[in-house]
Amino acid sequence: MNFRDITRFQLEDYDMQLHQALEGITDEEARWQPGPSSNPILWTLWHFGRFEDIWFNSYITNGESLWVKEGWYERIGLPKESTGLGDSIEDVVGFPNVPMSEIHAYRAAVRSSIWPILDGLTHEDLPATFEERWPLERAAPSVAWALGRVVVESAQHIGQIAYIAGMIRAARN
């Protein structure tokens, strides 16, 4: 087993956990906010797909994200630059009223696109950094760090989604 196998295993496991967490959640419930400053499931699910798209399709490959290349920003109704990073609560509340199926379709397209990228990475690629692709003031991360970050963020966002879904289910009873 190598880093590619481990990353794939983790991401596939997270998809299974996400599917379980979202089972029975309606589009209306996916827009519910537990508090006035909280992110709803729908926004979190979108951001979850966005960060995978950015890390793999933009940062690691220096390509264009599917968000832009395939026009997902138009389908979902957000600006090309939207990532969720640094969004205000007004941005979160103003997230377009799209069905969860559309966000799932975007995430599925992203997920399909990352497997060939992951499979093409070698051990020699892991320490590479790309200052020219990195928009933040701190040092650009390595490919290895980016892979780890995708796994960590996936776990965080699935935990958030599962927690909110649990609150929704509890409120139904």
Sorted by where each begins, the domain ranges of the chain are 3-172
In the predicted model, residues of the chain with pLDDT beneath 70 are: none
Would you say domain 3-172 falls under CATH 1.20.120.450?
yes
> What phi-psi label fits residue 23: left (phi over 0), alpha (psi between -120 and 50 degrees) or beta?
beta
**Is this structure's pTM higher than 0.75?**
yes
Residue 114's pLDDT is what? 96
Residue 123's pLDDT is what? 96
Amino acid sitting at position 136: L
Beta bridge partners of 142: 129
Residue 146's pLDDT is what? 95
Residue 106's pLDDT is what? 98
Residue 105's pLDDT is what? 98
Q: In this structure, are residues 74 and 98 in contact, taking their beta carbons and an 8 Å threshold?
A: no
Q: Measure Cα distances from 71 to 24, 55, 74, 106 in Å.
A: 29, 18, 5, 10
From the list 126, 161, 166, the residue with the least C-alpha distance to 145 is: 126
